[in-house]
Amino acid sequence: MNIFLDTANIEEIKKAKRWGVLRGLTTNPSIVAREGKEFLDLATELCELVSPFPVSLEVVDRTGEGMAEQARAISALARNVVVKLPTNPEGLAALNLLKGEGVKTNLTLIFSTSQAILAMSGGATYISPFIGRLEDRGYEGMGLVRDIMNIHSAYNFKTEVIAASIRDPHQVIEIAKTGAHIVTLPFAVLEKMLLNTMTDADLDKFLNDWEKVPGRENAFKGTRRLEKVGA
Ligand code: E4P
């Protein structure tokens, strides 16, 4: 399962890159608005920073024709742009208009299996079922991903499934069990997956004990070779 970040925050992206786990980025108009930056400047910076991995940027028109036009414009920005289209009648029409143009697409705001079937049948590059937002509204989110993955493998769709709208590490584990191709995470969830107070406490103990080891000052200088000790 590939890990994407669901953010437009440069510092968060840099931290995830440093950990070597970042394989792509998703954004939406709300995420972009949070940064308060000129859109094209921000989009360019994101594409450069995350390259060669994909960056999803969302269209904001309400008509299929308008969405397709915005999709063509924004995908010309960089090779790794993926255009997010809403999974509604106009979004599906936009997907159809873009067919054969080489524009990569991410059909977003998926809350039902039937929407996922249509988006995959329409040839979306990615689809994004929204787990957290379903569960916020009292529905079961994980069943949606499970159903989509079963249908995906039964019909061998080429679309990749991005489990989106994630609230905590437990959801990430459950999503991984479904075989979803990708999970997109807020940075806070990624950090929670890694941080563990037991790791911190036990590391402190190791490092305190290290202070009692003779010759520790020379331990990592790389000056001694095995042949010098006769091996
Ligand atoms: C995915 O592409 C969306 O940007 C995102 O996961 C929405 O998540 P939210 O429900 O946390 O806003």
Instruction: Give, for ligand 1, the residue of 111, 165, 181, 185 to mutate: max count of ligand atoms closer than 8 Å to Cβ.
Output: 165
Tokens standing for 162? 């991005």
Calculate how far, in angstroms, residue 28's C-alpha sits from the geometric centre of ligand 1.
7
Interacting residues of 84 by C-beta distance below 8 A, sequence separation 6+:
26, 27, 28, 56, 57, 58, 59, 105, 106, 107, 108, 128
Instruction: Give, for ligand 1, the residue of 27, 28, 183 to mutate: max count of ligand atoms closer than 8 Å to Cβ.
Output: 28
> Residue 81: what pLDDT?
98
Report pLDDT digits (tens) over 169-196.
Answer: 999 999 999 999 999 999 999 999 999 9
% residues pLDDT > 90 (the chain):
96
pLDDT band at 228 (very low <50, low <70, confident <90, very high): low
> Are 141 and 135 in contact, with CB atoms under 8 Å apart?
yes
For domain 2-194, which CATH number applies: 3.20.20.70, 3.30.70.260, 3.40.50.2000, 2.60.40.10?
A: 3.20.20.70
> Residue 223: what pLDDT?
81
Tokens standing for 123? 């040839």
Nearest to 117 by CA among 105, 131, 129: 129
Closest atom, ligand 1, to C-alpha of 31: 4
d(C-alpha 61, C-alpha 23), whole Å: 28
Q: What pTM value is reported for the model?
A: 0.94
> Are 25 and 7 in contact, with CB atoms under 8 Å apart?
yes
Interacting residues of 140 by C-beta distance below 8 A, sequence separation 6+:
134
Calculate how far, in angstroms, residue 101's C-alpha sits from the geometric centre of ligand 1.
27
Of 140-154, 167-181, 216-230, the poorest mean pLDDT is in: 216-230
Report pLDDT digits (tens) over 55-99.
Answer: 999 999 999 999 999 999 999 999 999 999 999 999 999 999 999
The domain segmentation of the chain, as residue ranges, is 2-194, 198-230
- Rounded mean pLDDT of the chain? 96
> Residue 231: what pLDDT?
54
Of 15, 84, 104, 158, which one is the catalytic site residue? 84
d(C-alpha 187, C-alpha 16), whole Å: 8
Taking CA atoms, 145 is separated from 6, 47, 61, 127, 163, in Å, by: 18, 28, 27, 11, 7
104 as an active site residue: the answer is: no
> Residue 229: what pLDDT?
59
Average pLDDT on 36-55 reads 98
Calculate how far, in angstroms, residue 227's C-alpha sits from the geometric centre of ligand 1.
57
Mark out the alpha helices in 85-186 (DSSP H runs).
89-97, 113-121, 131-136, 142-155, 169-178
> Residue 21: what pLDDT?
96
Average pLDDT on 108-130 reads 98
DSSP-derived 3-state class of residue 91: helix
Average pLDDT on 34-48 reads 98
> Residue 230: what pLDDT?
59
> Residue 227: what pLDDT?
67
Residue nearest to atom 1 of ligand 1 (CA): 164
